Amino acid sequence: MKSLEELERIKKEAQAMTKLREDKENTKIVVGMGTCGIAAGARETLAAIMDELAKRNLQDVVVTQTGCVGLCEQEPIVDIVKPGKPKVTYGRVTGERARQIIASHVVNDRVVGEWVIATG
Amino acid sequence: MSSFYRAHVLVCAGAGCVSSGCKAVEQALRAEVAQQGLDGEVKIIQTGCVGSCDQGPVIVVYPEGTFYRKVRPDDVPEIVEEHLLKGRPVERLLYRDESSEPVVNLEDIGFFKRQRKIVLRNCGVINPEDITEYIARDGYEALGRVLTEMTPEEVIDIVKRSGLRGRGGAGFPTGVKWGFTAKAAGSPKYVVCNADEGDPGAFMDRSVLEGDPHSVIEAMAIAGYAIGSNQGYVYVRAEYPLAIERLSIAIKQAREYGLLGKDIFSTGFDFDLEIRVGAGAFVCGEETALIASIEGRRGMPHPKPPFPANEGLWGKPTLINNVETYANIPPIILNGPEWFAGIGTEKSKGTKVFALAGKINNTGLVEVPMGTTLREIIYEVGGGIPGGRRFKAAQTGGPSGGCIPAEHLDVPMEYDSLVKLGAMMGSGGLIVMDDHTCMVDMARFFLQFTQDESCGKCTPCREGTKVMLDILTRITEGKGREGDVELLEDLARTIKNTALCGLGQTAPNPVLSTIRYFRDEYEAHIREKRCPAGVCQALVKYEIIQDKCRRCGLCQKACPVGAIEEVVAPEEEPVAVGAGATGITGTAVTAGAAATAGAARTKRKPLAINQEKCLKCGVCMRECRFQAITRV
The ipTM is 0.76
Q: What is the pLDDT of residues B190-230, one digit of tens each?
A: 999 999 998 888 889 999 999 999 999 999 999 999 999 99
Q: Which of A13, A14, A64 sits opposite B63 (nearest CB)?
A: A64
**Model pLDDT for residues B150-176, shown as the tens digit of each residue:** 999 999 999 999 999 999 888 999 999
- CATH number for the domain harbouring residue B359: 3.10.20.600
Kind of pairing between the strands at B59-62 and B42-47: unpaired
Same domain, B590 and B566: yes
The tens digit of pLDDT for each residue in B2-22 reads 467 888 999 999 888 888 899
Determine the residue among B61, B83, B135, B333 to mutate to test chain A binding: the one whose Cβ has the most chain A Cβ atoms within 10 Å. B135
Host domain of residue B394 = 351-434
Interchain pair B265, A50: CB under 8 A: no
Question: What mean pLDDT, rounded, does chain B reach?
Answer: 90
Last residue of one domain, picked from the residues B401, B434, B467: B434
Residue B78, Cβ neighbours under 10 Å: how many?
Answer: 14
Q: Residue B402, class by beta-carbon neighbours within 10 Å (0-12 exposed, 13-18 middle, 19+ buried)?
A: buried
Considering the domain architecture, whether residues B314 and B171 belong to the same structural domain is answered as yes
Tell me the per-residue pLDDT of B554-588, one tens digit each, with 9 for 90 and over: 999 999 999 999 887 665 555 444 444 444 444 44
Q: Domains of chain A, with CATH numbers?
A: 24-119 (3.40.30.10)
pTM of the entire predicted model: 0.84
Q: Based on the domain organization, do B485 and B430 belong to the same domain?
A: no
**Candidates B3, B6, B137, partner chain A, best to mutate (most A CBs within 10 A):** B6
Q: How many domains does chain B have?
A: 5
Measured between beta carbons, which residues in chain A are less than 8 angstroms from residue B40?
Answer: 50
| Res B600 pLDDT > 60 | no
Tell me the C-alpha distance between B237 and B241, whole Å: 8
Is a pLDDT exceeding 90 seen at residue A1? Answer: no
Q: What pLDDT, in 10s, does the model give residues A26-81? A: 788 999 888 888 889 999 999 999 999 888 888 778 888 887 778 888 889 999 99
Same domain, B202 and B318: yes
**Closest Cβ opposite residue A2 in set B86, B137, B266:** B266
Interface of chain A against chain B, CB under 8 Å? 1-4, 7, 10-11, 13-18, 20-21, 26, 28, 30-31, 33-35, 38, 46-47, 50, 53-54, 59, 62-67
pLDDT of B2: 45
Q: What is the pLDDT of residue B385?
A: 93
The whole-number average pLDDT for the span B396-412 is: 93
Closest approach of A76 to chain B, Cα-based (Å): 12
When CB atoms are compared, the residue of B4, B64, B86 closest to A67 is: B86
Residue B593 pLDDT level (bands cut at 50, 70, 90): very low
Which pLDDT score is estimated for A71?
A: 82
In a domain, B122, yes or no: no
Q: Mean pLDDT across the stretch B67-96?
A: 90
Cβ-based neighbours of B465, under 8 Å, separated by 6 or more: B447, B450, B451, B454, B495, B504, B507, B508
Same domain, B333 and B360: no
* Residue A7, pLDDT score: 93
Give residues with Cβ within 8 angstroms of B534, minimum separation 6. B436, B438, B540, B631, B632
Tell me, what's the pLDDT at B283?
A: 93
Interface of B with A (CB under 8 A): 1-8, 10, 40-41, 43, 62-65, 85-88, 125-126, 132-133, 135-141, 144-145, 148, 257-259, 264-266
- Cβ contact (<8 Å) for B148 and A16? no
Q: CB B263: neighbour CB atoms within 10 A?
A: 12
Q: Mean pLDDT lowest for which of A8-12, A15-19, B14-18, B360-364? A: A15-19
- Residue A84, judged by CB atoms within 10 A of its CB (0-12, 13-18, 19+), counts as exposed
Asked whether the predicted pLDDT for residue B599 surpasses 60, the reply is: no
Question: Of A60-74, B30-44, B335-349, which one has max mean pLDDT?
Answer: B335-349
**Chain A residue numbers touching B135 (CB-CB < 8 A):** 7, 10-11, 14
Q: How far apart are CA A5 and CA A12, in angstroms?
A: 10
Task: Check which CATH number belongs to the domain holding B230 and give it.
Answer: 3.40.50.11540
Q: What is the pLDDT of residue B362?
A: 87
Inform me whether the pLDDT recorded for B594 exceeds 60.
no
* pLDDT, mean over chain A: 87
Check B137 against A18: CB less than 8 A apart.
yes
**Does residue B467 sit within a domain?**
yes
In this structure, the answer to whether residues B169 and B270 fall within a common structural domain is: yes
* Segment B523-535, tens digit of pLDDT: 999 999 999 998 8
Per residue in A56-67, pLDDT (tens digit) is: 888 778 888 887
- CATH number of B611's domain: 3.30.70.20
Instruction: Choose the final residue of a domain: B419, B434, B449.
Output: B434
Q: How far is CA A119 from CA A24, A74, B34, B368, in A?
A: 21, 15, 36, 42
Give how far A107 is from chain B: nearest CA, Å.
17
Q: What is the mean pLDDT of residues B591-599?
A: 44
B605: DSSP letter: P
**pLDDT-derived band at B101, boundaries 50, 70, 90:** confident
Nearest CA distance, B372 vs chain A (angstrom) = 26
